[in-house]
Amino acid sequence: MAAAALTSQLNALVNNMFAMGLLDDQFQQLQMLQDSTAPDFVSEVVTLFCDDGERIICELARQLEKPNVDFDRVDSYVHQLKGSSASVGAQKVKNTCIQFREFCQQRSRDGCLKTLDLVRTEFYDLRNKFQAMLQLEQQIQACYPKH
């Protein structure tokens, strides 16, 4: 009974993430790659994305604080975040990274700073939801003890 309720919660959360545009069909591709030979694949990729994304966002903030911003370097970091976002299906973060790169190309510090704020908000929102998703999965697995 508990497992059913938790599964229902998990499905509602993930469906909502798709409906709100946080995720795209690439995330479904990742879910399809998870099976008995790689039972933790999605949580592994999501965790790596969250850690890597946090690192990149901190680095972006540091780069944009410098008196002389190296926009090529900033662009390189945004490109990395865009790439990993695309790979996990993080659609909203990916699209904001595309806008961010345009400001890098325009050498607009203000544009970059505003977009960094936006990407940071979207990333942490997604990360929180991913963490909730992983917690629910662990709780569901706990309902089926291994023999």
CB-based contacts of 103: which residues, under 8 Å, 6+ apart? 111, 112, 115
CA distance 98 to 119: 10
| Residue 49, both tokens | 């994305």
Binding segment (CB under 8 A) for another protein, from list 2-10, 45-53, 61-69, 139-147: 45-53
**Is the Cβ of residue 29 or residue 121 nearer to another protein in the bound state?**
29
Site for another protein in 58-87 (CB under 8 A): 76, 79-80, 82-84, 86-87
Burial class of 91 by CB neighbour count within 10 A (0 to 12, 13 to 18, 19+): buried
Q: Does 32 bind another protein (CB under 8 A)?
A: yes
Applying CB under 8 A, the residues found at the interface with another protein are 26, 29-30, 32-33, 35, 37-38, 41, 44-45, 48-49, 52, 76, 79-80, 82-84, 86-89
